Amino acid sequence: MTPRQATTIQQHGEIHTHPQETYGEGEVLLRIGNGGAGATGLIRALAEDYLASLDRPGSIQWICNHSRNTQLALFHGHVDLALTYEREQEEIAVAEGWARGEGVVFHDHFCLAGPQDDPARVSQAPSIEKAFEAIAVAQATFHNRSDGSATMWKERGLWNQCHRQPWEDADAAWYQSFLHTPAEAVAEANIAGAYLLSDRSTFLTMASQGRVDNLRVFFEPDHPHDILMNSCYALTSPHASSEVAQRVASFLTYLKSPRGQEIVGRYGCDKVGLPLFASLNEGYARAKLAGKSHEADWHTKSSTMEKL
């Protein structure tokens, strides 16, 4: 627990405190809190490469929570480094004095996906906001992750841009909420023929497993400041011991270095055929998903990829 005993950031669901995965062997050097980048394997790739660069053995733990709960895991001392996706919430943590912002470390992206036959005709919409409006007008099935994640809050922000709050509308039967993981949400939308907001890294991973044959991407970022950008920022604790602070600083230096950013920029290419993320220099992913087919033959490219 930090010296400040309260925060205005709200918990959504359980805060997981035990590691989802541990990389390396020996003394735990660092506990990293994150959601999607851990689930798609990027945290593993970075941790293993970083550990290989050290002159002594050690291990790194990944503690899995969605973005706001990852911040709270830092607040409560369950992680040493929080990698999160919500600027406003991160600014609150810094303003309250229990977190220090360390800047952006890599880029993920949101994308609007939906059924191949596109019953709401969102492919004809001139913007993501108009696409959401078209879904509502058509009352086309839309799946929502009602879990407090950064994806849920981004989606609600887009609905607010349309002056709609379907999660508050008892008559909006087309708007269906679930407590799914990112991967489960994509899989269920694929089965149901529903629209959903997903993140690029999860969608590509599921495509590589042949599990999005009924879905295609309609909207994704096309510039670094696009509303659908899902950039990941680092938060640390100003109350960490000097030893922990040095370890965190060492990892962040590596992560922002050309070596670390090369891992980010190339991650997924060997298994998926496209990068899942974008490096700091790239700013956003140039290799587009919109308009492409994501058929089951992707499955052969990911036989060794971990299931989400």
- Which helix H or strand E contains 74, and what residues bound it? helix 67-75
Q: Nearest 5°: phi and psi at 168?
A: -100, -5
- Where in the chain are the domains? 21-107+230-272, 110-227+288-302
Question: What pTM does this model have?
Answer: 0.89
> What are the residue ranges in the chain where pLDDT is below 70?
1-5, 291-308
- Tell the burial category of 42 from Cβ atoms under 10 Å away from its Cβ (0-12, 13-18, 19+): buried
Q: Report the CATH number of the 21-107+230-272 domain.
A: 3.40.190.10
Q: What long-range pairs does 287-290 form, CB within 8 A, spacing at least 24?
A: 288/220, 289/111, 289/200, 289/203, 289/204, 289/217, 289/220, 290/111, 290/216, 290/217, 290/218, 290/219, 290/220
Q: What is the pLDDT of residues 173-209, one digit of tens each?
A: 999 999 888 899 999 999 999 999 999 999 999 988 8
Please report the beta strands in the chain, taking only residues with DSSP state E, as ranges in sequence order. 21-24, 28-34, 59-64, 81-84, 100-115, 142-145, 175-178, 196-199, 215-219, 229-236
Q: What is the pLDDT of residues 128-141, one digit of tens each?
A: 999 999 999 999 99
Fold match between 21-107+230-272 and 110-227+288-302? yes
Fold of 110-227+288-302: D-Maltodextrin-Binding Protein; domain 2 (3.40.190)
Q: Nearest 5°: phi and psi at 292?
A: -95, 155
The total of other beta-carbon atoms located within 10 Å of residue 169's CB is 12
CB contact at 8 A, 302 and 276 = no
What's the pLDDT at 302? Answer: 38
What's the pLDDT at 1? Answer: 46
What's the pLDDT at 4? Answer: 53
303: which strand partners?
none
Q: What is the pLDDT of residues 278-295, one digit of tens each?
A: 999 999 999 999 866 555
